[in-house]
Structure 1
Amino acid sequence: MMAIGKRLKKANGNVDRAKFYALGDAVATVKSNATAKFDETVEIAMNLGIDPRHADQQVRGMVVLPNGTGKTVRVAVFARAAKAEEAKAAGADLVGADDLAEQILAGNMDFDRCIATPDMMGVVGKLGKVLGPRGLMPNPKLGTVTPNVAEAVKAAKGGSVEFRAEKTGIVHAGVGKASFSAEALEENVKAFVAAINRAKPAGAKGTYVEKVSLSSSMGPGLKLDVQALVAALNA
């Protein structure tokens, strides 16, 4: 524990808590502070000026990061016949119909993303109490209920990230690994922030993106210069 304490103390010493960092400087600092014995995830947190308790202020969606997440994603697909073969060819880890539903009900939840063709929702709907609490229920708004299963599987495997605002209006996500190049991380952050901007709900009033911070799994958070970040997206 002493070694962890010393490491964190050193990392905190490299961060100016009062400073609002430019994206490039923040990424460089986060990478230099990521000294754990594993490849730390680089995480973003965005405080939004919304109240998710209202239906017209929900923020939820999916974004494909240009450089992936660095995480191995296991994908389950509900499909039959030709669509099942397409899913398998695209790299799905589990493919089935009623048999897959039975596996899930029996406790086999060894997957990170669940995709279904529209005709399978009668089967999938019965799994709502199991998949829903785990955030795995297929949803057409997220592109996980689709006839284009091959495309959806490839997106999930390639680095698509689901986001959803919490009750406090904060959105969290992993945007890569500390081992990624600074350029790759910057591109991923910009893609994620752009997706959040596009998802701005009709009911959001005043300042939409209030705060943005970046950190690694075991490192301190850095506040980003929001105005500069948004300006960079529009450049």
Structure 2
Amino acid sequence: MAKLSKKQKMLAEKFDSEKLYGFDEALAALKEVASKKFDETVEVALNLGVDPRHADQMVRGMVSLPAGTGKEMRVAVFAKGDKADEALKAGADKVGAEDLMEDMQAGNLNYDRVIATPDMMGVVGRLGKVLGPKGLMPNPKLGTVTPNVAQAVKDAKGGQVEFRVEKQGIIHSGIGKISFTDDQLKQNFSAFVDAIVKARPSGAKGKYVRKVSLTSTMGPGLKIDTAEVEGA
């Protein structure tokens, strides 16, 4: 059995892994033990009563976090002509067409979001095996295939995050940095959880939000009372 570090022992003794915390209490605990060396990311995870192997139980979408993510998003856009100019003016990190496709095929995939105009999907489609496994394939349902590339870039840069349930029925995301104010993190938490609740699929039966936990990069995972989650 691996030996626990001093910090891991301290956290194990300090926090009850079975206790249900209120959001405010959990956040205060995470801030208390946060690293002084770097700005940790605060993350929320939800265990949902769904089986994503069934199409009518898939949970996926986008949500804009009111206080942003605290992370600099790198955005690539497939567009030509005026649309390419619009994307650049909106702050896209890379804009192109066939040249961008070849660059990605060569392994240059350091992006957090890939957006495309509808007319570019013939080019983007050739990158299915490259972008698909990384969750970067543009999708009209998520607003990443759109003629309004400028707005899509602004949304991505401004705190919009994508969520998608994993095989085990878990969905998680960073909701900001530990340096954010309590109010900013609470706003982001509420926005994220509300989006998940509203995205409840038709095939979900029984209790939908079964567990909620809050953690930080180096902190413990603390269980949040699901009574705080509207519609749980």
**Is the TM-score greater than 0.5?**
yes
Counterpart for residue 123 of structure 2:
123
Q: TM-score scaled by structure 2?
A: 0.95
Larger helix fraction of residues: 1
Q: Does 1:92 align with 2:101?
A: no
Q: Kindly report the root-mean-square deviation, in angstroms, between the aligned alpha carbons of the 2 structures.
A: 1.5
1:8 Cα offset (Å): 2.7
Deviations 1:160-214 (A, max 9, x none): 1111111110001111111111111111000000010111000001000000000
Residues 43, 49 of structure 1: alpha-carbon distance in 2 compared, 3 angstrom cutoff? same
- Per mean C-alpha deviation after superposition, the further-off stretch among 34-43 and 12-21 is 12-21
Counterpart for residue 219 of structure 1:
219
Unmatched 5+ stretches in structure 1: none
Asked whether the 8 Å contact 1:175–1:189 carries over to 2, the reply is yes
- Per mean C-alpha deviation after superposition, the further-off stretch among 7-16 and 93-102 is 7-16
Counterpart for residue 9 of structure 1:
9
Q: Does 1:81 align with 2:81?
A: yes
Counterpart for residue 134 of structure 1:
134
The residue type equivalent to 2:200 in the other structure is K
- CA distance in 2 between partners of 1:195 and 1:36 (Å): 32
Q: Does 1:27 align with 2:27?
A: yes
Unmatched 5+ stretches in structure 2: none
Asked whether the 8 Å contact 1:23–1:229 carries over to 2, the reply is no
- CA distance in 2 between partners of 1:64 and 1:228 (Å): 20
Aligned 1:180-199 pairs, distance under 5 A: 180-199=180-199
> Percent identity of the aligned residues?
63
1:13 Cα offset (Å): 3.2
Q: Does 1:105 align with 2:105?
A: yes
* SS of residue in 2 equivalent to 1:108: coil
* SS of residue in 2 equivalent to 1:219: coil
Asked whether the 8 Å contact 1:14–1:29 carries over to 2, the reply is no
The residue type equivalent to 1:112 in the other structure is D
